[in-house]
Copies of this chain bind each other. A is one copy, B any other.
Amino acid sequence: MAERKSRRRGEELERAILDAAWAELLESGYAALTIDAVAARAGTSKPVIYRRWAGRAELVLAAWRQHLPVRPMAPDTGDLRGDLLALFRLIARRAEGMMSETIAGVMGEAFRHPEVAQLLRERLRSAPLGGALSKILARAADRGELPPVDLPARVTRIPIDLIRNEAILGGAPVTDATISELVDDVYLPLLRGLAAG
């Protein structure tokens, strides 16, 4: 639109590119995102992008990084099941839109580019959930709903894994019915089993 008066560089330019990439993601999704389109939207050109990132996956991961959601607060509904339902719903809402498609797309590329695999793993593992979960469990223990448990890291990741699965394979937004199933048939029993064992 506005004439470009000056050349951007460094940080400023980089942010412009990442914003453009994010906008393209929202608008077209991962599969349809092209480097050319991002360059055009950012008002720059391909080489500028390729000088910074090795390919689409790296670019998208970087854009994603800048738009990371804030750390979730632990819901407090008064009972364990309610808290879990709320937490799962929160995760499901975040998996909506182009997120699942993007993750699936990046997963596909991860096989051909180990660095991408590494980045993706870090991104998905750093899921800021542990805090919320342990708060929920601590409160449940206080109320006497569940003996105190110390969750293995893997179990902390399960909610996100479960919902990602649903979101990617379901092809439709994760419904409340599905969320209830995940909580009642899987996660609550799992917690009870861990607490009892």
Residues on A facing B (Cβ under 8 Å): 29-32, 100-101, 104-105, 107-112, 114, 117-118, 120-121, 124, 152, 154-155, 158, 161-162, 165, 168-171, 181-182, 185-186, 188-194, 196-197
Contacts and interface: CB of A to CB of B under 8 A. Distances in A.
A154 B186 contact: yes
A169 B120 contact: yes
Nearest to A106: B108
Nearest to A117: B171
A169 B104 contact: no
A187 B192 CA distance: 12
B105 A101 contact: no
A123 to B, nearest CB: 10
Number of copies: 2
A29 B109 CA distance: 11
A109 B107 CA distance: 12
B111 A169 contact: no
A109 B196 CA distance: 42
A107 B168 contact: yes
A180 B117 CA distance: 23
Given A107-B108, A169-B120, A171-B117, A197 B189 contact: yes
Contacts of A118: 171
Given A182-B154, A194-B189, A197-B189, A169 B121 contact: yes
A44 to B, nearest CB: 27
